[in-house]
Amino acid sequence: MTEHLREWVTVAGSGGHIRATRNTLTVLKGAGEERYDIGRVGHLIIVGGHTIHTSAVVALVRAGATISFFDADGFPAGQINPPHPQDAETIRAAQQKVSGHSVALIFAQAGIDARILAIERYGNAHGWDLLYEGELELLHRSREELPFLIRMEEVRRLHKLVSDMYYEIMARTIPAELGFRRRGRRPHIDPVNAMLSFGYAVLYGSADVALSAAGLDPDSGTLHEGAGGLIYDIIDGFKPSMIDQTVFSLARGGISACDYDTGDRRCYLSENLIQNLLGGIRRTLDDGPINTVVRDYACALLSGTEFSPVY
């Protein structure tokens, strides 16, 4: 993650106790204590079961910070944002008028390109044994087919096909004993899926902050529908480089059985594994490109010009 004046702070797992004075945010967890200058905290990300004092909420909001809440599986539960910019109403009105199909094609292309690139980078670096005959050709044909799809359900179907293939292909590079075969549904029963969801929660929170600052409606997605649809649209093309490479690298390096617990039909990550994962994500998650894509989308909406994001 690039250095910015304001940082993001993540509290994950369970049992954390978050409080604040006017100038200092304090996170107590187990025997550990972390303190942060309120003025330097731009985003507090809370994943799992913790307690937070109203003093911390008030101090962070006064300082213009965002607070994001996620459940133990990394699913968004809510967010507290600073006030929207003055032109938010105009931007959101423009969102309702944009061609959802054309924008969905752009986001789908970004996500498909990023996944194909990740596969090819791994193949070039480590060999092509991860692929079955014809798989890479199928991925490229799917990418070439995308611009000619007319119906939205066709765009979403093709995007899902490539995404599913990507996870299944990358799963072949990960030790079989970790139990990762593909991207699964929550609750996750293997540590790789659990780590992916944790990383995607952090990425989701970063994009949500950028959308709020731009005045965009996070629920007005095109490729993805429902709550947070636009956030999922934005982050899809960033997942392979900003999250997946860190998670897959940790998994390939070997995860000890003591670093996760699969009891109660759910995989729980140890504090040690969470901290290692966060350390990797801090090196790969860069707010700059996310902010640029969001800014370009807002500018395209207001000016009526073509949206051409760079991922």
Per the prediction, the chain carries an average pLDDT of 93
**Which residue has better confidence, 26 or 83?**
26
pTM: 0.90
Q: pLDDT digits over 241-280, tens only?
A: 999 999 999 999 989 999 999 877 889 999 999 999 999 9
pLDDT at residue 2 in the model: 40
Q: pLDDT digits over 146-197, tens only?
A: 999 999 999 999 999 999 999 999 999 999 999 999 998 889 999 999 999 9
pLDDT at residue 4 in the model: 45
For residues 34-48, average pLDDT: 94
Ordered by where they begin, the domains of the chain are 7-80 (3.100.10.20), 87-303 (1.20.120.920)
Please answer whether residues 1 and 287 qualify as being in contact, where contact means their C-beta atoms are separated by less than 8 angstroms: yes
Q: pLDDT digits over 113-153, tens only?
A: 999 999 999 999 999 999 999 999 999 999 999 999 999 99
Burial string for 192-217 (b: 16+ CB within 10 Å, else e) reads: bbbbbbbbbbbbbbbbbbbbbbbbbb
pLDDT at residue 186 in the model: 86
Residue 3 pLDDT greater than 60, yes or no = no
Please answer whether residues 37 and 9 qualify as being in contact, where contact means their C-beta atoms are separated by less than 8 angstroms: no
For residues 62-89, average pLDDT: 87
Give whole-number Cα distances, 122 to 140, 217, 245, in Å: 16, 36, 10
Q: How far apart are CA 150 and CA 156, in angstroms?
A: 11
Residue 1 pLDDT greater than 60, yes or no = no
Helix (H, G, I), strand (E, B) or coil at 98: coil
For residues 203-225, average pLDDT: 94
Strand partners, 47: 70
Q: Known binding site for Mn(2+): residues? A: 224, 236
Q: Known binding site: residues? A: 224, 236
For residues 103-109, average pLDDT: 97
For residues 95-119, average pLDDT: 95
Residue 24 pLDDT greater than 80, yes or no = yes
59: Cβ contacts below 8 Å, ≥ 6 apart: 20, 21, 22, 23, 25, 38
For residues 211-234, average pLDDT: 94
Q: Of 128, 111, 112, whose CA–CA distance to 120 is shortest?
A: 128
Q: Residue 83: pLDDT band by 50, 70, 90 thresholds?
A: confident
